Amino acid sequence: MTVRPTRATVAGRAYLDLQNLARRTGRPTDELHQIYALEGFLARLAQSQYADKLVLKGGVLLAAYAARRPTRDVDLQGRWISNDAEQVLGIVRRIAAMDLDDGLTLDAASATAESIRDDDIYTGVRVSLSGHLAAARLAFHVDVNVGDPIWPEPQSIKLPRLLDGEIAVTGYPLSMVYAEKLVTALQRGVANTRWRDFADVYLLSGRHDVDGDELAAAVRRVAEYREVTLVPLSQALDGYATLAQRRWAVWRRRHRLDDRLPQSFEEVLRRVFVLADPAMTGLFDGREHRPRTRREALDELTADAVDMGLYDEAIRRGRQLPDDQSDE
């Protein structure tokens, strides 16, 4: 019989506080329990000897940039470590076994690892972890990739927690967050189903100014490492808005992001192209671009991109997605 959580224990208090937060915000309780588990793993990482060797990226990092979204994985970039599955498993187990006063119990001994390959774009190791918070049973992945150069250098980032406090982690700078997502979009073309990448770029670019030179340099570094030829993203995604609209709508609704993301995928792509095309074509080069306001930033970049003819009609024509592509 499951024991009902009470405020008599740290785990019970955290469980109930997350339950109350879910009611106030309208988010699913299990989603918040999951995020709490990911935060707990990162809090342990931050106090371990691997704090500067495993660099945070991906969905969890977005909370530091005021763009939190649902996620069930911790994505890390490894530095100065091997991508051997057994070695990575040992590192993750040592981190998970650390005891913190947060009520979270992670079962380090039962963790398993497997090598992962994502269409030859990323290579690394996926570690599966389980645990519990009072009555909540938890399971998540820790993905450790070894590959893309990180430029600019990783930085100390304050990651706000769902409940009180924050975690100081080593994380991707914003330019690198953009660069990986934009180059991945270019690689995958119209077969891309990584809707979260487009959502992330849309949300982040609506909240943060763009350092054009830094972004362009980060994009070049990633593209050179992956041996990708840079062309305007709007050109590579010609017709994508039409062919991907239905699947975008399904993904947006499934993740309960109707209030944060446009229903129109064409609208999302337009903002993505405003950021991506200048970075991929050299429009930013030699310019100090620190806009005074977000609206002025988008207006100026849009005008420049239109003047260059980079995407006037590029997102209006459609093709058919391959049948074997799945929504992510």
Distance CA 67, CA 240 (A): 24
Q: Judging by DSSP bridges, how do beta strands 73-78 and 136-145 pair with one another?
A: parallel
Question: 39 CB contacts (<8 Å, ≥6 apart)?
Answer: 60, 159, 161, 162, 167
- On whether both 227 and 157 belong to a single domain, the answer is no
211-234 pLDDT per residue, tens: 888 999 999 999 999 999 999 999
Examine the fold and report which residue of 172, 194, 229 is the final residue of a domain before the chain moves on: 172
Number of domains present in the structure of the chain: 2
164-183 pLDDT per residue, tens: 899 999 999 999 999 999 99
- On whether both 15 and 145 belong to a single domain, the answer is yes
Whether 312 is in a domain gets the answer no
66: left (phi over 0), alpha (psi -120 to 50) or beta: left
Whether 5 is in a domain gets the answer no
Examine the fold and report which residue of 127, 142, 172 is the final residue of a domain before the chain moves on: 172
The single residue listed with the structure tokens 């100090």 is: 288
Distance CA 162, CA 24 (A): 13
114-134 pLDDT per residue, tens: 998 766 555 799 999 999 999
Q: Omega of the bond prior to 149 within 30 degrees of 0, cis?
A: no
Strand partners, 106: 131
The single residue listed with the structure tokens 């009180």 is: 164
Q: Which DSSP helix (H) or strand (E) runs through 126?
A: strand 122-133
Examine the fold and report which residue of 172, 201, 222 is the final residue of a domain before the chain moves on: 172
34-91 pLDDT per residue, tens: 999 999 999 999 999 999 999 999 999 999 998 888 899 999 999 999 889 999 999 9
pTM of the model as a whole:
0.84
CB of 23 closer than 8 Å to CB of 154: no
Distance CA 108, CA 100 (A): 14
* pLDDT computed for residue 14 by the predictor: 98
pLDDT value at 271 more than 50: yes
Whether 328 is in a domain gets the answer no
Percent of the chain with pLDDT over 70: 84
Percent of the chain with pLDDT over 90: 75
pLDDT value at 297 more than 50: no
- On whether both 17 and 138 belong to a single domain, the answer is yes
Domain span including residue 298:
175-307
- On whether both 254 and 139 belong to a single domain, the answer is no
- On whether both 266 and 226 belong to a single domain, the answer is yes
